[in-house]
Amino acid sequence: MIGAGLSNMAAAVYLIQEGHWRGDNITFYGADMHGANDGGTTEEFSDEYWNKEHPLDNQTGYVARGGRMLNYRTYVDLMDLLDRIPSATEEGMTAAEDTRDFDSHHQTYDKARLLQGGKGIIDGGKLGLNNKDRTLLSKLVLMPDDEETKLDNVTIAEYFKDDPHMFQTNFWYMWETTFAFRIESSVQELRRYMHQMIYEFTQIEHLVGVNRTRYNQFESMILPLINYLKGEEVKFISNRIVTDWEFADSSMQDEITVTGIHVKNVEDDTEELVDIDDETAVIFTNGSITDSATMGDYNTPARENMEYGISAALWKKATERFYNLGTPDKFFADRKNSEWVSFTLTTKNHLLLNEITRITTQVPGNALNSFLSTTPITPLGQKDINMSIVVHHQPHFTSQKPNESVIWGYFLYPRRTGEFVHKQYIKMTGKEMAQELIGQLSKVDPGPNNIKEKEPAILDSIINNIPVYMPYASALFNNRAKTDRPEVIPAHSTNLAFTGEFAEQPYQMIFTEQSAARSGEIAAFHFAGVPMDHLVDTPRYDKDPKTLLKATKRMFS
C-alpha cells in the first residue's frame, strides 16, 4: 500500500474480509497514517507542515485541514466499510452505527445557509434560476453516460459562457460552497455531481441530506480503521515516501509489472529499494489534496509551499513509462484553480460560538454558513462568496475541554482580499482570519448588540487559530478529459492498481469518501479474485423519474 489514506485502508479491510488475506501480509508506506482525513491537536502534526520562517511557540489548539459532510443515500460503499469495523469511541457499535446514532440525534437543518451584509439571512429556498439556467442544467443532467466525453476539457464557465446569470443565483452560491466547485472547474465533474446528488435540488438550502460523524473525521472514520487493521497485524510504516519505481522489462511494451519501489525515510533521508515479487500487489493512491499543505498560527500566516505533490510526483514517473496512466499535470500544475486556505479556530469559552448561534438562529452542528460579498468581486462582475464556516457540534475532538469551542472555515478563493483585513486571505495570520470572520458576522448583525462590540473579548478568548494553505485542495475538480485519470486497474497491469480521488471510476463523483472507499474496494476485489458483481450497488438517482420530477419542479422556485 503506497499511501495510508481512506482508499487504501478500505482496500486492506476488503482484502482481509472478502479476500481472506492475512493482515500481516499487508504493509502500508506513507508520510503519515491518516491521509486527507486528519484532525487532532497542533502537537500531532509534524514539523514539516509549520511555517519555518517564523518560530511557532504557540502550538496549542486543534487542527482539521478539511471537513467532511457525508450522505448516506449516496455514500453506500463508505457506510458498508464503516459497518465492518468497530467504533473507536462508542463501545458495542460499528463505526457506521456510531455515525448513524449521532446523526439521528443531531440532524442537519441549516436555517442560515447564505448570509449577506445588510440583508442578513438570505432565503436560499429561492434558487433564482431563469429559463436559460434551467435549460443548460437540464441538458447536463439528461446527457447520456456514453456522451460524457463531449465535456472533455470543458470548464463550468465555458459550458455556461452564454449564461453568466447562472453564477449570480442562490443555487450556484450554495452548490459552489457545499461541494467546493469553482467556475474554472471541470463541467464533466459537475455533471457527475448533478447525476448522483440530483435530489439535493429539493433541499440544498437546508442541507437536510447531510450527515455528520460524532467527532472529527480522523477519530470517527480513520482511527477505527487503524485500530481494526492493527488488530489484524497489518504493518504501518510511517515517515516514508515512495520516490520511484522499478518495472519489469517485457516483450509486451504496455504490460505494467512493478518489481520494486524506492522508499525514502523522511527522518534521516536514507533510501532503500523494496523488491516486489510475483505474488505481491501494489495499491497506490496516486494523488492527495493535502500534499504540500502548510500551517501557520495565530500570529503567523501559512507559508506557500511550491513543491509538487509527493504522491503526484510518483504518479508522474509512472506516466513517463506507460501511456495509459493519466495526466498528473492536469491536476497538480494548475494551482490557481485548486488552492484553498482553511482555518481551525479554538476558543477557551463559548462567546464566539454563542454569538454565531444568535446571529444564525441555529444551534452548533446544523450548518455550513457562507458569507456573500456585498460588492462585485469576480471577473463576471457579480457578488460571490467571501468565506464559509462550519460550526460543529461540540465537542469536535474527544480531548476537547467542556469550556472549549472549535470552529472550521475556508476561503475558496484565497487570492482575494478581505473586506475587513485588507490583505489577501492567503497572507492572513490566524488572528486576522478571526477578525475577518467577526467583520463578516457584523455585516449581517445590525443593531445595538452588534458582534463587533465584542471583538476584543472574542479575540481574547481564542486559544489559537491555525491557517492552513492547501495548494491542491480542489485539484480533483480541475478541468480535464476523462482519460486524464487512470483506471483503478489499468489495462495490461499485472500487479498495480490506483486508488483515491485521482483514479477514474464510472459514474462516481470525486471529492467524497464514497469514491475513495469504492476505489479501494475495486482494487481489493480485483487482486483477491472476488467477482465485481459483489461490489456494493451504487444507486442511480438520475434514473429515478420521481427524483427527476421533484428536481425539475424545484428549478422553478
Cβ atoms 536, 524 nearer than 8 A: no
Rg (CA), the chain: 23
Q: Backbone dihedral region of 26: left (phi > 0), alpha (psi from -120 to 50 degrees) or beta?
A: beta
> Is 215 assigned a catalytic role?
no
Which candidate, 539, 545, 543, places its Cα nearest to that of 75? Answer: 539
Q: What is the 3-state secondary structure (H, E, C) of 471-538?
A: CCCCHHHCCCCHHHCCECCCCCECCEEEECCCCECCCCCCCCHHHHHHHHHHHHHHHHCCCHHHCCCC
- The residue from 62, 193, 199, 469 that is catalytic is 193
Output the CA angle 421-423-428, nearest 5 degrees.
80
To which H or E segment does residue 159 belong? Answer: helix 156-159
Cell of 361: 438562529
Q: Residue 337: which residues within 8 A CB-CB, separation 6 or more?
A: 182, 184, 185, 474, 478, 479
**Residue 105: exposed, middle, or buried by beta-carbon count in 10 A (0-12, 13-18, 19+)?**
exposed
Which candidate, 27, 363, 82, 375, places its Cα nearest to that of 213? Answer: 82
Instruction: For residue 493, report the phi and psi dihedrals to the nearest 5 degrees.
Output: -90, 130
To which H or E segment does residue 190 belong? Answer: helix 187-196
Cα separation, 84 vs 536, whole angstroms: 13
To which H or E segment does residue 356 belong? Answer: helix 351-360
Buried b (16+ CB within 10 A) or exposed e, 173-200: bbbbbbbbbbbbbbbbbbbbbbbbbbbb
Buried b (16+ CB within 10 A) or exposed e, 385-423: bbbbbbbbbbbbbeebeeebbbbbbbbbbbebebbebee
Cα 73 to Cα 77, 113, 268: the distances in Å are 10, 21, 46
**Residue 81: exposed, middle, or buried by beta-carbon count in 10 A (0-12, 13-18, 19+)?**
buried
Output the CA angle 10-13-19, nearest 5 degrees.
120
Return the amino acid letter for 378: T
Cα 426 to Cα 173, 340, 343, 411: the distances in Å are 21, 8, 11, 9
What residues act catalytically?
A: 193
